Amino acid sequence: MSVEQLKIRVKRLVKKYLFHPAFGPLLLKEHLRAEEVIGTSGTDMQVLLPAKRIEFSTESDSSFLKICKYYNEGSFLRPNVFVYTLSDAVLHVDTGLVCTRDYKIISDSVMEYRLPYSRVYGRYKPLRVKQLDGTYTTIQNVFGDNHWHWLVDSLPRIFSLAKAVPDKKLTILLPNGLTRTQRDSLECVLPSNFEVKFLPTNSWIKAEHFVLPSFVTGRANGYLPAEYSEYLRRSVFTKLGLTHNHEPKERIFISRGGAQRRRILNEKEVVQVLAKYGFKSYALEKMTFKEQVELFHRAEFVVGPNGAGLGNILFSGKINVLVLYPDKTPNTYFLTQAKSLGQEHFFLADNKGSEHLDFEVSIPDLEAILGSQWGLEPLQS
């Protein structure tokens, strides 16, 4: 038997016996909402924003709402935004997954729909857990290595923590694999009474006291309450020496030419057309966090394919954003985010593609938006 055949056989055996009923108590499978364990394990909950239905759409969004993947009614129910404190919580540092002391997963720590994506869900409970005395928290999420999810899902939880524990020392546990951009952005928004402790990859921690901030956002949803987006913007602008008032003076196109997927096949032609209207092309992966914030801070119009870098519209004013989608059922990350910021979301969708494939942009449709809908005129040569 070859080594490769042996590996395949071992994988089959693991799959066969991992989910055997006899091993059920050893698996990280049982999960519950934070509200279900109130009053046990030393728990306490502070509701910061009560549940509320958010109506975010206007008539101009009707064509997008007809084809998009979620929130087709132009609204969603935002659950309670809360901070939840419990004793002897167990944390998987890389994914932000939090369990009670008896290893019941608190689904609010990952958003319920994200549980299947967690690397630890459905696996054996950890054999080794490091005990930490004191009070700890995390803002990590299962997609935390993605720039959009970091900006919109993770960093806003800092504000919830700042509201809940304004005067106490609090240590944030995070994996040591954070990128330079993540570390720089975190430094911008971190309150003075908070500190960060970086831990090795795949660490399991049991904290004497653990403060869990719920997510403010939701599934494919970047709609932040105004006080949250303003906290992030104000903190970042102050740290980087930028004015709080925007001076829109640059038209920008965000390229995904260096990405592994969702690239524009006719990008050269797209760039040539946009250049006629005064747009400049940027590759965000080549820019520091400060440079990205400065760019979007001065943006007048933003055009770009569906990608994490567009999350930087958080730092723009009330601008027009044109998102180029590769699929006929676009996701709702940027519609909801733009609406929460008072921005206008425009779109072009490729009816032949799917979310992660490379795609082409219709040049006539692009020019129609720039001219007819945005009222731009080609620059004189």
Q: Is the pLDDT of residue 14 over 70?
A: no
Residues 163-180 have a mean pLDDT of 95
**Which residues, other chains included, contact 176 with Cβ-Cβ below 8 Å and sequence gap of 6+?**
198, 199, 200, 201
Residue located via tokens 């709609």: 223
Least confident interval from 38-52, 295-309, 327-341, 351-365: 38-52
Q: Is the pLDDT of residue 50 over 70?
A: yes
Q: Is the pLDDT of residue 117 over 70?
A: yes
CA–CA distance, 332 with 89 (Å, rounded to integer): 33
Residue located via tokens 């759409």: 57
Q: Say what the pLDDT of residue 68 is.
A: 96
CB 153 within 8 A of CB 142: no
CA distances from 81 to 77, 144, 218, 316 (A): 12, 19, 11, 25
CA–CA distance, 77 with 64 (Å, rounded to integer): 19
At 179 the three-state DSSP class reads coil
- Tell me the H-state helices in the chain: 3-18, 62-67, 147-149, 156-164, 180-189, 226-240, 267-276, 289-297, 333-340, 363-368
Pairing of strands 204-213, 194-199: unpaired
Q: Say what the pLDDT of residue 65 is.
A: 98
More confident residue, 180 or 353: 180
Mean pLDDT estimate for the chain: 92
CA–CA distance, 87 with 269 (Å, rounded to integer): 58
The encoded tokens of residue 173 equal 């546990």
Residue ranges and CATH numbers for the domains of the chain are 13-48+81-218 (no CATH), 242-373 (3.40.50)
CA–CA distance, 195 with 193 (Å, rounded to integer): 7
Q: How confident is the model at residue 20 (pLDDT cuts 50, 70, 90)?
A: very low
Q: How many C-beta neighbours within 10 Å does residue 259 have?
A: 16
Scored b (16 or more CB within 10 A) or e, 339-353 reads bbbebbbbbbbbeeb
